[in-house]
Structure 1
Amino acid sequence: MKKTLLSLALLCSGIFANAQKETSLSIKPAGDQMVSKHIYGHFSEHLGRCIYDGFWVDENSTIPNKGRIRLDVVAALKKIKVPNLRWPGGCFADEYHWRDGIGPRNQRPKMVNTNWGGVVEDNSFGTHEFLDLCKMLDCEPYIAGNVGSGTVEEMAKWVEYLNFDGVSPMTAIRKQNGMEKPWKVTFWGVGNESWGCGGNMTADYYSDLYRRYATYARDYAGAPLKRIASGANAEDYKWTETCMKNIGAGRMWGLTLHYYTLPTGKWDAKGSATKFDEEQYFNTMKNCLRMEEIVTKHSEIMDKYDPKKKVALIVDEWGIWTDVEPGTNPGFLYQQNSLRDALIAGTTLNIFNNHSDRVRMANLAQTINVLQALILTEKDKMLLTPTYHVFDLYKAHMDAKYLPINFTSPDYTLGDKKIPALNVSASQDSTGAIHISLVNLDPKNKISLNTDLGELKWKTVTGQILTSANLTDVNTFTAANKVQNAKFNGAKKSGNSLKVELPAQSVVVLELK
């Protein structure tokens, strides 16, 4: 009998140990802090099939296009209100010479893309084509200038070509190429990854070089530049310290940060995009969550030199980086996109929203057919990835007032390891509607939430959810809608409290009105 009671006690204790406790959240009214729409930016490099066979189709293609820009891709990106697009790189930016990509296409010189696959770049997609694309997307262009292999004069003349509305040799060439008035491009990157593929520079050397290049990248009437310095790789806090000290807050609009989530944490064997077990999933999410610490520490350094937070921290390369799909060119960085990637996207965007006092721009890498892509194409076929659907959900936060949240996350445990299972961000838009984005990283257990909204007034709650049966689930060209957003019915009003049953491995966005 004693043995039976002991067994029953142990069984009950196991059940209670695995039971999901209710988590309480409190959401405070908005202050002056805004969630910039530019946090939801994207990145398109001359890499693999992102530009060519992504945005840009062959001259005689039967795929619907306008001036060779693929229209189904444009429509999909307009739906999620892409706010800005970064181009031409990446590593490619520091070997790109802009004058090779203007004028009649049949006269443009060809080059070798030494960074990405050693393929021939025919320069048919250049400055005019990129800015036509941005106009079609109704987004702001973000151009990365060539510091690594370029010259001060080259960058200065590119800015003049884009932004000057007067008489000069560059404006004469622009008009000759069919553009009478300037585009007035304001987001301007001074180099890319200058610590690595952009020149393997020291922080001190780059800081001095930045000041020189930025001096000659002029402000023209109606187009004051938002100059962006090439910032740190992941946890290189010394780089940030040196740039803030040597460049100074008054000489740059933003300072970049690059951090990629590697499933294994190893660059030489990153792990598969689609074949992984729970242990590798756990490690991937642990590496994803490092973004919180990295952003916090870089922000603290910036605060020392810029307490008024005038300089934006711009995470203009982020996302999961896995091994390429078997049988594809290793230099093209083509990978599939699973529910795991959607959870990474939702988590990372929540981190950025919660640091929106300093993080005011970010760019997912990359838009089409490369790394954590929003869109995959195969000839005339196109599909939207799980990551795309997260951006569709989160667009509600763009240019909304940030709402502070306080909560303690339950743990997601695997063996003797644990990470926070829950991450959240919230905002209030110009109509007064409240949006709460919730991510449950735990693949087994739901989370019960009781949310106190305090002084915030609301009457109704609706929601959408992104989830699937398996973390490895993907959308394919034969099953393009396997992972997509659906109506969420797991939230209800109880007095002025919000009660939510958040399913395992899910992204949910609620709207309170």
Structure 2
Amino acid sequence: MGAEIHVHRHDPIDQINPTVYGHFAEHLGRCIYGGIWVGDDDRVPTEDGIRMDTVELLQDLDMPVLRWPGGCFADDYHWEDGVGPREERPTRRNMFWTQGRRDIPEEPNTFGTNEFVRLCDMLDTEPYLAVNVGNGSPSEAADWAEYCNYDGDTELANRRAEHGVDEPHDVTYWGVGNENWGCGGRLSPEEYAEQYRRYATYMRSFNGMMSDAEMELISVGHISEDWNRRFLDALAECSEWVESPYELMEHMSVHRYYEAGGDTEFDDEEYYRLLARSRLVAQDIDNAVETLGVYAPDNDISIVVDEWGVWHPEAKNTNGLEQENTVRDAISAAGVFDDFHERADVVSMSNIAQTVNVLQCLVQTDEDSAWATPTYQVFDLYKDHMGATSLETVVDTEAETVEDEPFDVPLVSASASEQDGELFVTLSNRALDGSEAVEINTDLDDASVVESAVLFDDQDVSEYSTDDNADTFEADDIEVENHGDGTVVVDAPASSVVSVTLE
């Protein structure tokens, strides 16, 4: 018996914020140095030191937002080191990661705020900055906001102009720290609440008086319900004279990584175990929403999953967290996106870790070329969901049970959205053996198939992209049977991802 997908067009969930398809670039390994920034290296085409082969690949994804500079790196980063003439910028430590082509724990600061915003301009994407709470100060954070967002006659605004940037950067998204329960200082929830109150107060005051852009603040959350409860409770106590202390934030973040087996060496059980663990992302969102509903029911605080993805054991801090990126990883990402769409009313952003060369990256590079990974292809296939209205989608399918995991693995995962008169359905057949006849039921009685595509047909789940084979992971056409009554059927190959557009 095949799987059935029921799309309820009259049960909209909410708009899928385009920033759900966001990205994350940290000063780690070859993400920035080598992957994005190569300076005067003439082995690849560059513009202002940024390698254009990477940019051109990312431009095709319509990237909505890019988080920087970390990650753990953010909580030991002092932004003033990375502005001004590059030859005058100091080389500092990178106490968390080796990076660059020399694979050493040093930060040359040749890629700083203005280079980052220049990259965002090239990509037509929104910058998202994470400020230093670990060993920084509220004054340093407010100064950074002033340098980026004030269009007046202060020393910092004038300094930005002296650095060649006359107009403000108008940065909207500001993360107040990163994993401050861990690498960002090992703060207790109560300690972070006190720090968050101080930082948010200064940044909120700057936003109200001086910022050209409407700034949105993102607090650090945790996958532990207890940590989030204690943080929110302490924030209320240390801000009790404020009418609503939760007005100090627009978003709360959670991070989730998962793995099972190696990056390319894994058995069938580990294949399904990784997919089961990827479902923890949805649980983390639900738990955070439930906690916010208790403490801040009258505040519209959304969830930002600003680090997520596969972290294989091959990725270590001494190798720049590099790993191969396989079809299995890409299929897991498709399922996570289906979960995000189902929660479009509460998830405002996500940022996969990371954009180039690191962890579940979308682009890999060597000295002479750049190429797309299988996960890149999922982002490309799914991008028509951005800005569309997510629709209630029910999937009737068999499931694979994985021992000792809290979730089983539905063998078909799917989501649907509607925009500009078109219905867009994406689905994954996650079974390792055999195609699946998937019936998609809608109420479009006279529906016609506009477009259909499939990823990873006849490719093993352990296959990964290289410069030589990257084009073989691109989408192909797939035949869809139209019954003429709002029902279509697609024969989804084993371990594949499919999209169908109807009107």
| TM-score normalised by length of structure 1 | 0.90
Aligned residue type for 1:119: P
In the aligned structure 1, how far is the partner of 2:463 from the partner of 2:288? Answer: 35
Aligned residue type for 1:249: Y
Q: Secondary structure at the match of 1:86?
A: strand
Q: How far apart are 1:22 and its partner, in Å?
A: 4.1
In the aligned structure 2, how far is the partner of 1:496 from the partner of 1:479? Answer: 38
In the aligned structure 2, how far is the partner of 1:239 from the partner of 1:173? Answer: 40
- In the alignment, what sits opposite 2:336? 348
Query: Is residue 27–residue 403 contact of structure 1 (8 Å, CA) maintained in 2?
Result: yes
Q: How far apart are 1:409 and its partner, in Å?
A: 2.7
Q: Bigger shift: 480-489 or 104-113? A: 480-489
Q: How far apart are 1:221 and its partner, in Å?
A: 4.2
Query: Is residue 108–residue 122 contact of structure 1 (8 Å, CA) maintained in 2?
Result: yes
- In the alignment, what sits opposite 1:190? 176
In the aligned structure 2, how far is the partner of 1:96 from the partner of 1:173? Answer: 19
Aligned residue type for 1:386: P
2:216 corresponds to 1:216: no
Q: Bigger shift: 306-315 or 391-400? A: 306-315
Query: Is residue 56–residue 69 contact of structure 1 (8 Å, CA) maintained in 2?
Result: yes
Q: 1:447 aligned to 436, 440, 444, which one? A: 436
In the aligned structure 2, how far is the partner of 1:413 from the partner of 1:447? Answer: 18
Q: 1:80 aligned to 61, 69, 84, which one? A: 61
Q: 1:469 aligned to 455, 459, 468, which one? A: 459
- In the alignment, what sits opposite 2:85? 104
2:362 corresponds to 1:410: no
2:283 corresponds to 1:293: yes
Q: 1:434 aligned to 401, 414, 423, which one? A: 423
2:42 corresponds to 1:45: no
Residues 272 and 202 (structure 1), Cα distance of their counterparts in 2 relative to 1, 3 Å cut? same
Q: 1:137 aligned to 123, 129, 146, which one? A: 123
- In the alignment, what sits opposite 2:132? 146
- In the alignment, what sits opposite 2:42? 61
Residues 280 and 131 (structure 1), Cα distance of their counterparts in 2 relative to 1, 3 Å cut? same
Q: How far apart are 1:198 and its partner, in Å?
A: 0.5
Residues 26 and 171 (structure 1), Cα distance of their counterparts in 2 relative to 1, 3 Å cut? closer
- The within-5 A match list for 1:348-427 is 348-412=336-400, 418-427=408-417
Q: 1:249 aligned to 236, 246, 249, which one? A: 246
Q: 1:276 aligned to 266, 282, 285, which one? A: 266
Aligned residue type for 1:139: T
Once the two structures are aligned, what percentage of the paired residues are identical?
A: 36
Q: How far apart are 1:445 and its partner, in Å?
A: 3.2
In the aligned structure 1, how far is the partner of 2:51 from the partner of 2:448? Answer: 42
Structure 1 segments of 4+ aligned residues over 4 angstroms from their partners: 413-418
- Structure whose CA Rg is larger: 1
Q: How far apart are 1:238 and its partner, in Å?
A: 1.5
In the aligned structure 1, how far is the partner of 2:296 from the partner of 2:395? Answer: 29
Q: How far apart are 1:416 and its partner, in Å?
A: 11
Q: How far apart are 1:309 and its partner, in Å?
A: 6.3
CA-atom RMSD, angstroms? 2.0
2:251 corresponds to 1:261: no
Q: Bigger shift: 374-383 or 496-505? A: 496-505
Q: Secondary structure at the match of 1:29?
A: strand
Cα deviation code 1:38-95 (max 9, x no counterpart): 0000000000000000010131423111001111111111111000000000000000
Instruction: List alignment gaps of at least 5 residues for structure 2.
Output: 99-103, 237-244
Query: Is residue 445–residue 485 contact of structure 2 (8 Å, CA) maintained in 1?
Result: no
Instruction: List alignment gaps of at least 5 residues for structure 1.
Output: 1-19, 264-270
- In the alignment, what sits opposite 1:16? none
Q: Secondary structure at the match of 2:116?
A: helix
Aligned residue type for 2:44: I
- In the alignment, what sits opposite 1:311? 301
Q: How far apart are 1:255 and its partner, in Å?
A: 0.3
Q: How far apart are 1:241 and its partner, in Å?
A: 2.0
Q: Bigger shift: 28-37 or 179-188? A: 28-37
Q: How far apart are 1:178 and its partner, in Å?
A: 1.2
Q: How many residues in Structure 1 have an aligned counterpart in Structure 2?
A: 482
